[in-house]
Amino acid sequence: MDSVDFDALEDAARAKMPPASFAFCAAGADDEISMSENIAAWRARRLRPRVLRDLTVTDTRVTLLGKEHPSPILIAPTGRHKLFHPQGERETARGAAAANVGYVMASNANMLIEDVAAERRAAPQWFQLYYWPNRAEVEALIDRLAAAGFTALVLTVDAPTPGWSPRAARSQHQPSPDILNINMPGSPMARTAYHPDFAGKVMYPATWRELEWLARRSPIPVLVKGVLRADDAVRCAECGAQAIIVSNHGGRHLDTTVTTAAAIGEVASALAGKAEVYVDGGIRRGTDILKALALGARAVLIGRPIIWGLTVDGATGVTTVLDHLRTELVRAMQLTGTASLKEATGDLLAPN
């Protein structure tokens, strides 16, 4: 597989997917403005290279939640991977492990937590949580995750109710007993949230009270995903979150939000010394990753390109996407005179 051009990779994945699977993967909310602007915002930032630096070694290592990672790249949580590959999230985890990249498994995965954990090898695995109304069910799940060796819990807070995607709504997946959200209460069939039955329903009613409880109760660190404001980020840290993921859900729920490239700097400045900061949304190149780091992110999360690689070539496709992005990051670092990630500072970017 040639993943050099992610546009071509997306086209190859689309050719292999059922139309409803592609619609679910590709869709953005409403007019898909935030989805497209996420990508454009990273591309619009301009680098200011340094010259005549010692680049004998280019070091991409980073420490996340106290553990060293070989690069600042993680797999973002995306759901229902059996829509893209018969082995679902197990195959994604296998690809992540081969690249030694952290994988954030989604609540609405189609494979059992324990089966995904079996593919871990040396790569860390985290779990993305939607907070369900029944606290006892949440408690049972987080204890099960800790027992399976997951090392962080990522609470998604920007989707208490589903958004709306006309594209996905026009191309509905039919529920199948072979494709279940198997780790969620009742193991429901994997109907997507872009269905009239879910419109307007508050499905994941987490508040500050639930975050405080979760941070106390969880035996593993808690992160919060879906923050775009500095004041919310600071309060998350005060409630016990050890890291914040700046995200607008890939533009999938609320259209016309600020881009993550626009939000990351404000959040990172406000959280300095309080919590780690990561970012997702529209990252497609190694230069995008370097820009995110220069703006204050400690790591980035990659979503849709992982699905494309999974669809085209399974675990090998996932690994290829991750290796390609790391290769591009190294090249961007070398061409900007950045020998290590600690040198990826704000002066690498031209003012907006």
In a domain, 233, yes or no: yes
Give pLDDT, residue 124. 98
When pLDDT is averaged across residues 99-108 and rounded to a whole number, the result is 97
In a domain, 211, yes or no: yes
pLDDT tens per residue, range 55-89 = 999 999 999 999 999 999 999 999 999 999 999 99
Q: Is the pLDDT of residue 237 over 60?
A: yes
Q: Is the pLDDT of residue 128 over 90?
A: yes
Give pLDDT, residue 107. 95
Could you say which of 173, 249, 253, 324 is catalytic?
249
Average per-residue pLDDT in the chain?
94
| Distance separating the N- and C-terminal Cα atoms of the chain | 36
Give pLDDT, residue 188. 78
Local confidence band at 233 (pLDDT 50, 70, 90 cut-offs): very high
Q: Is the pLDDT of residue 112 over 90?
A: yes
- When comparing pLDDT for 249 and 196, which is higher? 249
In a domain, 99, yes or no: yes
Give pLDDT, residue 331. 97
173 has catalytic annotation: no
In a domain, 350, yes or no: no
Domains contained in the chain, number: 1
Instruction: Give the residue numbers spanning the domain of 184.
Output: 6-345
Pick from 58, 111, 107, 113: nearest CA to 82 = 111
Local confidence band at 169 (pLDDT 50, 70, 90 cut-offs): confident
- Identify the CATH number of the domain in which residue 230 sits: 3.20.20.70
In a domain, 66, yes or no: yes
Q: Is the pLDDT of residue 200 over 90?
A: no
Note the Cα 116 to chain centre separation in Å. Answer: 17
In a domain, 1, yes or no: no
In a domain, 352, yes or no: no
Give pLDDT, residue 190. 66
In a domain, 328, yes or no: yes
